[in-house]
Amino acid sequence: MNNESLQIKKSRSENVIHNSAWALFNFLVTGFLSLITRKVFVQFLQVEYLGLNGLFSNVLGWFSLAELGIASVISYNLYKELGNNNIDEINVLMSIYKVIYAVIGCAITSIGAILLLFLPILIKDNEVSLGYSRIIYLIQLTGNVSSYFLAYRRTLFICDQKEYTCIRIDIIVAFIAALLRITVIIIFHSFVLYSFVTLLQNIVANCVIYIVCKRRYSYLKSVKISKKEITDRNIFKDVKNLLVQKISLLVYTNTDNIIITKLLGLKTTGVVANYVLVTTAIQQLMYSCLKGVVPSVGNLVHTESKERVLSVYNKLDIFYFIFGSVVACDIIVCMQPFIQLFFGENYLLPFGYVIGIAIDKHIGMQFENAYNFRSALGKFEQDRKWWVFSAVANIVFSVLLVKYFGIVGIITGTIVAFVFIAFGRIQFVFKNILTNASVSKYFLKHFLWTLLFCLQMILVVYVMSKLPKESWMWLFIRFIIASFCMLFMQIVTFLPSKDFKSLIVYVKESVNKTILGRRK
């Protein structure tokens, strides 16, 4: 390996640690503030407002369809151009990005205004007046639209492995916004003001990042874009292929609250919102710890040999599985006691729903590694059918099972649907990137890992059943013991593996270089 390649490797690993460390700190700060804000929310405002917030989040999530996957297409092109320091092409890509996003922002504004007419159809309960609901919707719509005019420059930081710059800004703005939200809830008891503060948070953070980007990347300038320049880069072709995945992903991620609201009521949606808050925080923690991996993988796939790529993939595969196992274990052991202690017994859902959440997060993290590698390459037409299968499965199974199992049926439909997504990702990665590896051996390996995890989980649950769970102290003890037991068993499981030993050495060296400043 020459000196230039060695320097790239060092820079990549250090950026992973740096981005992940800041993302983790961001999670701890904003997660804590979110929980405090939610606690104040349920004490001073109606639970139906939580349902309304969750419903509109799902509805507005559909508007991301208008984005057409432009961010993904631009991103995987930027990985290559940033790696080659091609400033002219970077300017062209970012100018294309800006123009298309401006058009999309205007289109979403028009569509969002029309959707106001259909709000009575979506809202089953009438605890919240229609006029009030429309005000909240318009505020959230404005926040959604503003991102298309301001937030696109975040992508440049992310692809350049410098996302920690955006995270620092987000932390400061989020802290101020959380204090303002708590203040308006306690003093004014106003959900409108609460939503307006969230709107301001989004706009202010994106404006600051926009300004910093102009200073950091002084070479960045707007370039006049023609249709030919877009077509020459196959952007429309990639967008067309990605559109099927976008629609399917929207169905997969933005139908649960709509189904719950329509079939089980707005109040149930509000109760589910507390679990979503906690699981979202958990998911943010999971991805925060690995925040820098995605752009680094994009750089890796385009600059390293197939042997090197496979070696890194195998290391990360083990890490993702261990991490997902510990998180799933903590969800099963600690979720219900936490909800009861923090929000109250009236906000508890069936334990089967918690098990479903744990399964969903474990499977998702287990195959997140495949997603990271898949995202670096494009060629969206190859696995789009699996996204269609997933979207159809989510609706069909959720609607069918909710009639018999209630809220547990909803999460079951989500789990079944994700299996199709995971399978498509893995097939793509082994066909296009890990061409020298066996996909059948990969599936067998993960099946055996999962089977062993289930046995380990049964043992942990048995041990935890002997401990009390009615106080914060015991909840903390349960969390520590469960995490340690699962982590220990996972380490014992993978210790004989050469990839695991290599992973330990790699992480240790990266931490030493980045945090401790030591060199071997």
- pLDDT range class, residue 321, cuts 50, 70, 90: very high
- pLDDT range class, residue 516, cuts 50, 70, 90: very low
Q: What is the DSSP string of 268-330?
A: HHHHHHHHHHHHHHHHHHHHHTTTTHHHHHHHHHHHS-HHHHHHHHHHHHHHHHHHHHHHHHH
Asked if 358 and 210 sit in the same domain, the reply is: no
Which of 218, 239, 260 terminates a domain? The answer is 239
CB 219 within 8 A of CB 81: no
User: What average pLDDT score do residues 172-178 get?
Assistant: 92
Q: Residue 15 domain-assigned?
A: yes
Highest mean pLDDT among 90-94, 252-256, 510-514: 90-94
Asked if 402 and 484 sit in the same domain, the reply is: yes
* Neighbour tally for 87: CB within 10 Å: 14
The angle at the Cα of 424, spanning 494 to 23, to the nearest 5 degrees, equals 60
**Model pLDDT for residues 29-44, shown as the tens digit of each residue:** 877 888 788 888 888 8
**Model pLDDT for residues 201-216, shown as the tens digit of each residue:** 989 998 999 899 888 8
Q: Residue 245 domain-assigned?
A: no
Is pLDDT at 292 greater than 50 in this prediction? yes
Q: For the CA atoms of 164, 169, 174, 175, what is the dihedral angle to 10 degrees?
A: 100
Instruction: Lowest mean pLDDT of 264-273, 295-304, 345-354, name the range.
Output: 295-304
**Model pLDDT for residues 399-447, shown as the tens digit of each residue:** 888 888 888 888 898 898 888 888 888 888 888 878 777 888 889 999 9
Asked if 212 and 342 sit in the same domain, the reply is: no
Is pLDDT at 167 greater than 90 in this prediction? no
Asked if 219 and 324 sit in the same domain, the reply is: no
- Provide the pLDDT for residue 325: 92
Asked if 231 and 333 sit in the same domain, the reply is: no
Q: Residue 490 domain-assigned?
A: yes
- Provide the pLDDT for residue 518: 41
CB 356 within 8 A of CB 373: no
Asked if 383 and 235 sit in the same domain, the reply is: no
Q: Residue 252 domain-assigned?
A: no
Is pLDDT at 514 greater than 60 in this prediction? no
Q: Hey, what amino acid is at 101?
A: Y
User: What average pLDDT score do residues 481-501 get?
Assistant: 89
- Provide the pLDDT for residue 4: 41
Asked if 384 and 478 sit in the same domain, the reply is: yes
User: What average pLDDT score do residues 99-106 get?
Assistant: 84
Q: Give CA–CA dist 133/33, Å, rounded.
A: 25
**Model pLDDT for residues 46-98, shown as the tens digit of each residue:** 777 877 777 787 777 667 655 666 777 777 778 778 877 888 888 888 888 88
| Higher per-residue confidence, 465 vs 458 | 458
Q: Which tokens belong to 168?
A: 């620092």
- Provide the pLDDT for residue 467: 81
Q: Residue 298 domain-assigned?
A: no
What is the pTM assigned to this prediction?
0.65
Q: Between 164-188 and 3-44, two packed helices, what is the crossing angle to 10 degrees?
A: 0
Asked if 166 and 43 sit in the same domain, the reply is: yes
Q: Give CA–CA dist 455/489, Å, rounded.
A: 11
* Neighbour tally for 156: CB within 10 Å: 23
Is pLDDT at 337 greater than 80 in this prediction? yes
Is pLDDT at 161 greater than 70 in this prediction? yes
Consecutive H or E run containing 467: none
Q: Residue 357 domain-assigned?
A: yes
Instruction: Lowest mean pLDDT of 62-76, 311-325, 467-481, name the range.
Output: 62-76
Q: Hey, what amino acid is at 159?
A: C
Asked if 136 and 42 sit in the same domain, the reply is: yes
| Higher per-residue confidence, 120 vs 487 | 487
Highest mean pLDDT among 234-238, 396-400, 445-449, 501-505: 445-449
- Please, what is the average pLDDT of the chain? 80
Q: Indicate the DSSP class of residue 41.
A: H
**Model pLDDT for residues 238-247, shown as the tens digit of each residue:** 677 667 777 7
Q: Give CA–CA dist 153/346, Å, rounded.
A: 43
3-state SS assignment for residue 14:
helix
Is pLDDT at 7 greater than 90 in this prediction? no
Q: Give CA–CA dist 383/440, Å, rounded.
A: 18
Which of 239, 262, 279 terminates a domain? The answer is 239
Asked if 368 and 448 sit in the same domain, the reply is: yes
* Neighbour tally for 486: CB within 10 Å: 23
Residues of the domain holding 406: 304-509
Asked if 133 and 21 sit in the same domain, the reply is: yes
Q: Which tokens belong to 293?
A: 């991996």
Asked if 492 and 417 sit in the same domain, the reply is: yes
Q: Residue 262 domain-assigned?
A: no
Q: Residue 38 domain-assigned?
A: yes
- Provide the pLDDT for residue 21: 74
- Provide the pLDDT for residue 1: 42
Which of 239, 265, 292 terminates a domain? The answer is 239
| Higher per-residue confidence, 373 vs 292 | 373
Q: What is the number of structural domains in the chain? A: 2
* C-alpha separations of 110 from 143, 276, 410 in Å: 14, 30, 32
| Higher per-residue confidence, 256 vs 490 | 490
